[in-house]
Amino acid sequence: MARVYNFSAGPSTLPESVLKTAADEMLDYHGSGQSVMEMSHRSKVYEEIITGCEALLREVMNIPDNYKVLFLQGGASSQFAMIPLNLMNKSGKADFVITGQWAKKAYQEASRYGTANVVASSADKTFSYIPTLDPATFDKDADYFHICLNNTIYGTKFHTLPETGDVPLVADVSSCILSEPIDVSKFGMLYAGAQKNMGPAGLTVAIIREDLIGHARDITPTMFNYQTHADAGSMYNTPPTYAIYICKLVLEWLKNDIGGLENMKKINEEKAGILYDYLDSSKLFKGTVEKGSRSIMNVPFVTGDEELDKKFVAEAGKKGFVNIKGHRTVGGMRASIYNAMPVEGVKALVEFMKEFEKENA
């Protein structure tokens, strides 16, 4: 059976060795006689999986002790409400940078619970850049300052963090978590849906400074209160057990096969470099993002001719390069080259693009 090169923005490709291990352990996990899917989440054997997953995430990301790691559900999208419910509790205000649809959704949801203020936006140019920020325009009283660190749809990334002083910086890292080292101590909170770079859909990870927990509004549903999950070790109710298991395998791969986030960053920069170098030299294809704002995870590009874009996507699919159609708001193509996309996959894609360019010049 041939596997394709899957450039999906999410759910996305997983390391093949992880899938093989999962397959080997499907019927009988470590002599338990059960699949991980079938286990009680309160069993000893499962406890080792969830605590092992958290320990590995802490190690790989170098998460300080005064941060809780929570395994949640509901996707990054639920965090758009959970964050204001838990954090918008003093001035009732928060600052937002609108760099795309996810950032906008976080802002819109927070507006339902308090005063959400837009500090800057790149909507004027279809979110093709990260706006320059002036800390003088930030609200010193804000309960938090929200950014989307890597913009999955538009292919932009913050290369410097906003200087928010004592205001906790909260970042949606759904599409860049584990792609390179990150200084967790610079943030009040980080959160991510797992299905881009951590594992399968169904798991949402929140990494949150302890002092930000325990101040939720009275109306907050129990399941939406970070305290609930922090107190219960992410076991208040049934956690997404199988997704956590796969996440643990992904972290083992990242630690043992890749050698940690410094190495992962080098590999990701190599992959992105191969694609951007070609885009910058091509006469047919061009990247849609300003150079200084480029993401190393999501790379949108166009030919400038919609019919040719369609033809490219169709022919690419036939050659085993799948899920490369761009988001409808950008058009064209988008190659998501998350951690599990091998360098060979990007090289093969660029070779195919060169051929297509020759034939369609």
Ligand X SMILES: *Cc1c(COP(=O)(O)O)cnc(C)c1O
Please tell me whether residue 152 binds ligand X under the rule CB under 6 A.
yes
Nearest-CA neighbor of 121 among 137, 142, 109?
A: 137
Please tell me whether residue 193 binds ligand X under the rule CB under 6 A.
yes
Please choose, out of 90-98, 109-117, 171-179, 262-270, the segment that lies near ligand X by the rule CB under 6 A: 171-179
CB 50 within 8 A of CB 71: yes
Q: Which two tokens stand for residue 335?
A: 């190659």
Please tell me whether residue 73 binds ligand X under the rule CB under 6 A.
no
The residue within the footprint of ligand X, chosen from 102, 242, 278, 301 (CB under 6 A), is: 102
Residue count, binding to ligand X (CB under 6 A): 12
Q: Which of 68, 196, 248, 325 is catalytic?
A: 196
- Min dist CB 308 to ligand X, Å, is 27
Q: Is 156 helix (H, G, I), strand (E, B) or coil?
A: strand
Q: How far apart are CA 92 and CA 107, in angstroms?
A: 13
Q: H-helix or E-strand containing 191?
A: strand 189-193
Please tell me whether residue 168 binds ligand X under the rule CB under 6 A.
no
Phi/psi for 119 (5° steps) reads: -80, -40
Please tell me whether residue 339 binds ligand X under the rule CB under 6 A.
no
Q: Which two tokens stand for residue 140?
A: 């010193």
Q: How far apart are CA 103 and CA 109, in angstroms?
A: 10
The residue within the footprint of ligand X, chosen from 18, 63, 76, 198 (CB under 6 A), is: 76
Catalytic annotation present for 310: no
Please choose, out of 20-28, 73-81, 111-119, 216-224, the segment that lies near ligand X by the rule CB under 6 A: 73-81
- Min dist CB 87 to ligand X, Å, is 17
The smaller minimum CB distance to ligand X, of residues 39 and 247, is found at 247
Q: Which of 68, 95, 102, 157 is catalytic?
A: 102
CB 224 within 8 A of CB 85: yes
Catalytic annotation present for 68: no
Please tell me whether residue 300 binds ligand X under the rule CB under 6 A.
no
Q: How far apart are CA 107 and CA 118, in angstroms?
A: 8
Please tell me whether residue 172 binds ligand X under the rule CB under 6 A.
yes
Please tell me whether residue 131 binds ligand X under the rule CB under 6 A.
no
Q: How far apart are CA 68 and CA 90, in angstroms?
A: 21
128-161 in b/e form (b: 16+ CB < 10 A) is: bbbbebeeeebbeebbbbbbbbbbbbbbbbbeeb
Catalytic annotation present for 253: no
- Min dist CB 22 to ligand X, Å, is 21
Q: Interface residues with ligand X (CB under 6 A)? A: 10, 75-77, 102, 148, 152, 172, 174-175, 193, 196
Catalytic amino acids?
A: 102, 172, 196
